Amino acid sequence: MTILPAVSLPIALAWGALPGAGIVAGALLGVYAPLSHRSVARAMALGAGLLLAAAAVELAAEVTRTHPWIGVAALLAGAATFSAANAWLSRRGAKHRKRCGECVAQSSEADVPNSGLAIAMGTAMDAVPEAIVLGLSLHAHGPNAALIAAITLGNLPEAMSASAGMRAARRSVRWILGLWLLISAATTLLTGVGYLFAGVLTAHDALLMQAFGAGALLAMVSETLLPEAAHEAPGFSGLVAATGFGALLLISAYAH
């Protein structure tokens, strides 16, 4: 039996636009007000803490309470899918797409031909898990303040660091901002896709898809955010990540 939507599609798309706004804001900061690696790393640590808490508390925990084994299997399948795609793109120049350029340089076209396309594909891929799970969540439960806040705030340092790295790799401002605007729009549309997909799933299958998305999100954070956050271990970066995790727990506690 399929589940009835908690909100309409236009409302879901409106909420899906918020994470896209975080992407654009981060890109503008990365291009026009680049920060030092230490500042970027701390911002990435905060974003990682938020997203890890969202994946664990808001997504995976709900599934594993009722379907522990199959829920964990779906989570691992999601992580494996993202990691396999990321490994393929990394070999084509997209490995350091979220690095700020001060500590580890992104690949330039001169270094790796067609790396710009790989970076664009990888950057777009990073946005897929969070957008799909947001759409699923909006269909099933309506707006989840904790999940929306985690994705929106997590997107800001991601785009900021990646944009600074793209500039350091001698990519044009037009190329960088054009890419992020496209990804922002795609994030909104993918939220709609997740919402519509949830409409043809049973409640059980929707939960498994949620776990799959949580696994992909965990893999994305581990492979793209944490390397920048942990590079040369800026002081108290672990505390910053824990602060992000704790902030998400508080938002979740007061939102429900």
Higher per-residue pLDDT: 255 or 82: 82
**C-alpha to C-alpha distance for 97 and 94, rounded to whole angstroms:** 5
pLDDT-derived band at 167 (thresholds 50, 70, 90) equals confident
Report yes or no: 27 and 178 within 8 Å, Cβ to Cβ.
Answer: no
The answer on pLDDT for 233 being more than 70 is no
Between CA 166 and CA 210 the distance in angstroms is 32
175-208 tens-digit pLDDT: 999 999 999 999 999 999 999 999 898 888 989 9
Pairwise CA distance, residues 214 & 216, whole Å: 5
Between 113 and 27, residue with greater pLDDT: 27
Residues in the chain: 256
Task: Compute the CA torsion angle 18, 21, 25, 26 (nearest 10 deg).
Answer: 70
pLDDT attached to residue 103: 66
pLDDT band at 35 (very low <50, low <70, confident <90, very high): confident
Angstrom distances, CA of residue 28 to CA of 116, 155, 162, 172, 185: 19, 12, 11, 13, 16
The dihedral sign for the CA sequence 56, 58, 61, 63 = negative
Q: Which residues of 67-91 are buried (b: 16+ CB within 10 A; e: fewer)?
A: beeebeebbeebbeebbebbeebbe
Give the residue extent of every domain in the chain.
9-255
- What does pTM read for this prediction? 0.91
